[in-house]
Copies of this chain bind each other. A is one copy, B any other.
Amino acid sequence: MTEKGSAPAARAVLQQCLQARLQVKPAEDHAEAQFVQIDRGTVIYICFFKGATDDILPKMASTLLNLRLCESDSGKMVSVLELPGSLLIVPQATLGGKAKGRAMQYHNNVGKEDGLRLYSAFVSLCEKELTAVSAEVTVKHGTYGNRQVLKLDTNGPYTHVMEF
């Protein structure tokens, strides 16, 4: 979590997975739902707050991809780049929620247009970093603004919260 005392610009939750599948297009009348899937790697749930700018994205991507959060076959903790593992990036506006009474409010979340731009740029940065490392791993991501229908299989999610 951020130590700065100032309000964070972004919040991420990370979970390790053996396999994860995410809906990117809901079913329609004559079309089945579409999904993306990764095997071993990391699921990054991400939410941007008001005031977030593109400046924070390189540090965010670099930090999240280089933190030693993955267990290698030998039991050593390594980064998702070192594993190498795949990434599933899930837009998750609910991470910006604050309780007011029994309801959750999302007043600090970035607006839709900025959010989509930041999210897309973050995905691109992660793709660049990961594909530079290995051709066997992949970056998949959800559709911004959609319901994130997710199926997750883990050997321990090892859930972490990071703020930027």
Interface of A with B (CB < 8 Å)?
1, 3, 5, 11, 13, 45, 63, 66-69, 77, 79, 90, 92, 94-95, 97-99, 102-104, 147-162
A98, B144: Cα distance in complex, Å: 28
Quick check: A150 and B157 within 8 Å, CB to CB? yes
Also in contact, A99 and B151, with CB within 8 A (given A13-B161, A159-B92, A161-B13): no
List, sorted by A's number, 25 A–B pairs whose CB atoms are closer than 8 Å: A1-B98, A3-B98, A11-B161, A13-B161, A45-B157, A66-B102, A67-B102, A68-B102, A79-B102, A90-B157, A92-B159, A94-B160, A95-B159, A97-B161, A104-B160, A147-B155, A148-B157, A149-B154, A149-B156, A150-B154, A150-B156, A151-B152, A151-B153, A151-B154, A161-B161
